[in-house]
Amino acid sequence: MEKTTNGNNALQSICERYRNLYGGLIYDVLEHLGYPYQALSHELTPLSQDMKLAGPAFTVKGPMTCERDESRRFKRLEMIKKMTFPCIEVRDAGTPFHVALYGELSATTAQAHGAVGALVDGGIRDSAYLIRMGYPVFSRYRNPVEAFGRWVMLDYNVPVLIHGELVQSVQVNPGDFIFGDLDGVIVIPKALTIKVLEECERVMGIEDVARVEFARGDDPVAVFEKYKRL
């Protein structure tokens, strides 16, 4: 893992603050700001319920292949050395084959070089190992099928397309902020990372106060009018 600097200390703090939030709130804030199409497909789910993703995207693009050139494996390993802490590895679908694009060895290596989670628009395997690691991984499905000879890494840190919820696909750019929880995954454009975070924290503070009044049986209409969130 790369040495910690003041820059990634600040980024780590941003990630920790995002982990205190929840997907519905982030989506509402983005929609209010004019970005209603940032939710990814509901098929992208966490391996376990308590897993969360929070960090800037390190994107990986790969198409299908029938090539079995071992040197391709080394290219992928060289890519991992370019990661910086903290980042979320984001792999696009790339292939119609139902194969596992990610597994425990990929996670172990990526984590050692700065990754704090993975978002895979396809299959994964070694699920029990990943869960034991406590390493957050979101994917569309699980199976044991090796990707080698069926999928190949083409490029990394380039824009990729991930299946969307309200649109066919959502573009994820390197550095866009990825948030995922049990309700799904959201892509926050890089330039809006701080703005969305601060607005979510403001709204969450209002919600915490309103929640107490709702819970004690205050007039719900009056409470809603008093604490309109946005």
Q: Where are the domains of the chain?
A: 6-190
In this predicted model, what pLDDT tens digit does every residue of 26-47 receive, in sequence order?
Answer: 999 999 999 999 999 999 999 9
**Assigned CATH class of 6-190:** alpha beta
Give the three-class secondary structure for 134: coil
DSSP-assigned beta bridge partners for residue 117:
88
Residues in Cβ contact with 11 at an 8 Å cutoff, skipping those fewer than 6 apart:
55, 56, 86
Average pLDDT value over all residues in the chain: 89
In this predicted model, what pLDDT tens digit does every residue of 55-72 receive, in sequence order?
Answer: 999 999 986 666 666 666
pTM given for the model? 0.90
| 2 confidence band (pLDDT: 50, 70, 90) | very low
Closest CA to 124 of 108, 101, 145, 104: 101
Contact 142, 127 (CB under 8 A): yes
Using alpha carbons, list the distances in angstroms from residue 111 to 2, 199, 218: 11, 30, 48
In this predicted model, what pLDDT tens digit does every residue of 100-148 receive, in sequence order?
Answer: 999 999 999 999 999 999 999 999 999 999 999 999 999 999 999 988 7
